[in-house]
Amino acid sequence: MATLATTVLTPAGVNPETSMISANAGGDKVVPSASTFLRVKNSAASPITVTIDDPTTPQPVGAAAINPDSVIVVTNAQERWIGPLPASRFANPVDGLVAITYTSATTVTVGAFSLV
């Protein structure tokens, strides 16, 4: 997994296209914060699913199963802004990063953006 560099949005503006990289087939990671967002662009002919791992939400008492991961479908030839990604929910306790996986990374680009 590659750790995405986060582009900080400024009053002067940024070109989001220059901050986009090819999605890693093994997934990506990003530094979490309450102002961090992902931009996922799917240029493929089929939809993909992006999963943001939630390793910290506890299973409710009495629940047989729980999967609080955030699952987002990005339709073909579309893009999605995903977030915010607060550490309190998404940070892995081992490395402090957010894990992102894709059902397919072919012709998918991703960028991390933050307001501060």
Q: Inform me whether the pLDDT recorded for 56 exceeds 90.
A: no
More confident residue, 4 or 116: 4
Question: Residue 35: which residues within 8 A CB-CB, separation 6 or more?
Answer: 84, 114, 115, 116
Return d(Cα 9, Cα 16) in angstroms, integer. Answer: 9
Return d(Cα 32, Cα 49) in angstroms, integer. Answer: 20
**Total residues found in the chain within this entry:** 116
How does pLDDT run across 33-52, given as a tens digit for each residue? Answer: 999 999 999 999 999 999 99
The mean of the pLDDT values for the chain is: 94
| CA terminus-to-terminus distance, the chain | 24
More confident residue, 14 or 60: 14
Return d(Cα 21, Cα 90) in angstroms, integer. Answer: 22
The percent of residues in the chain predicted with pLDDT above 90, rounded, is 83
pTM reported for the whole predicted model = 0.90
Q: Map out the domains of the chain with their CATH numbers.
A: 2-56+67-114 (2.60.120)
